[in-house]
Amino acid sequence: MRILHTIAEVRDFRRSQGQATLGLVPTMGFLHEGHLALVRQARAENESVAVSIYVNPKQFGPTEDLSRYPRDLARDLALLGEEGVDCVFIPDNEEMYPTDFQSGVVVKEITQPLEGARRPTHFEGVTTVVAKLFNIFQPTRAYFGQKDAQQVAVVRQMVRDLNFGLGIVVGPTVREADGLALSSRNKYLTVEQRATATVLHRALRSAEAHWQSGERDSDALRSTMRQLLEAEPLARVDYVSAADPATLGEYAGLIPPGAGALLSMAVFFDRTRLIDNVLLSGDATT
Ligand code: PAF
């Protein structure tokens, strides 16, 4: 497994691969089974696999957790070695954003609701670094997790709008046995918070059960989720949403016949903010 720190090294690596298909898994490190599932999928679908590990400062707001974001590079590299990854790119900030760096990639409407409304600079940071990684690696496919549903929608929009010539592959959310979605931020939870944090999954499953019984009132779906979340004293709801999966626009009242819905939420446990979602298919209409 090649460990590369500079863009020039990545370009040499890519050239040395000739016409081989390349799967890229962009990460911020502190890898968990969710990342490794994406790596395995990339391994199965491409001749060559690259992983980037870079805690991108541009996607953190001034009051967010950049400085305390968990890191364990030695463990990450050991895990990636076991998965047969060909190359790991670990740039520093100067390599990604030299002092005269001036550009940013902005995706407009779809970045405005949900995460974008609470984290106004977040998605520009994500699209800028992801666009750079796509240009640096020229991958055949790039792999993202459905847990960051809005990130997936934003990256897809960027790829369409700016004609990046690659496929975006989305892996399902990987969960603990009790339903908590895997996230590097779970590490911040106290024992009590960790036990309570299953409420995100419980709230989503409950609303999903209502959907499967034919509930199409978006207010009722949001209220089902909110009631369960608010019953947990350690949880503080940031938002709950029932949105159009294509535009991420919030539904008001009845969801149109045949349409699907993205149910999503962000919940604080003290300073730790967790997100989760479930995508409901319109085809399941009863
Ligand atoms: O999902 C993440 O870990 C990050 O947002 C990403 C895609 C690696 C960009 O920094």
The pLDDT tens digits of the residues spanning 251-262 come to 999 999 999 999
In whole angstroms, give the CA distance from residue 172 to residue 157: 19
Q: Is 146 exposed, middle or buried (0-12, 13-18, 19+ CB in 10 A)?
A: middle
Q: How far is the CA of 27 from the centre of ligand 1 (A)?
A: 5
Percent of the chain with pLDDT over 70: 99
How many Å separate Cα 86 from the centre of its chain?
Answer: 23
Say which amino acid occupies 170: V
Q: Where does the pLDDT of residue 141 fall: very low under 50, low under 70, confident under 90, or very high at 90 and above?
A: very high
pLDDT score for 178: 98
The pLDDT tens digits of the residues spanning 161-181 come to 999 999 999 999 999 999 999
Mean pLDDT of 147-165: 98
Is residue 51 within 8 Å of 89, Cβ to Cβ?
A: yes
Q: How far is CA 15 from CA 20, 85, 136, in A?
A: 10, 17, 11
Q: How far is the CA of 130 from the centre of ligand 1 (A)?
A: 8
pLDDT score for 60: 97
Q: What are the backbone angles phi and psi of residue 178, rounded to the nearest 5°?
A: -90, 5
User: Residue 284: pLDDT above 60?
Assistant: no
Residue labelled with tokens 């967010």: 64
Top mutation candidate among 53, 88, 148, 183 for ligand 1, by most atoms within 8 Å of CB? 148
DSSP 165-213: -SEEEEEPPPB-TTSPBP-GGGGG--HHHHHHTTHHHHHHHHHHHHHHT
Average pLDDT across the chain, whole number = 97
Say which amino acid occupies 76: D
pLDDT score for 286: 41
Write out residues with Cβ below 6 Å of ligand 1: 26-28, 56, 59, 126, 129-130, 148, 151
User: Can you list the alpha helix ranges (DSSP code H) found in the chain?
Assistant: 7-16, 33-45, 73-82, 93-96, 115-118, 122-137, 149-162, 191-196, 199-212, 218-230
Residues forming the annotated binding site for beta-alanine?
59
Mean pLDDT of 68-81: 97
User: Residue 225: pLDDT above 90?
Assistant: yes
Is residue 95 within 8 Å of 7, Cβ to Cβ?
A: yes
The radius of gyration of the chain's CA atoms, rounded to the nearest angstrom, is 19
Domains of the chain: 2-171 (3.40.50.620), 184-280 (3.30.1300.10)
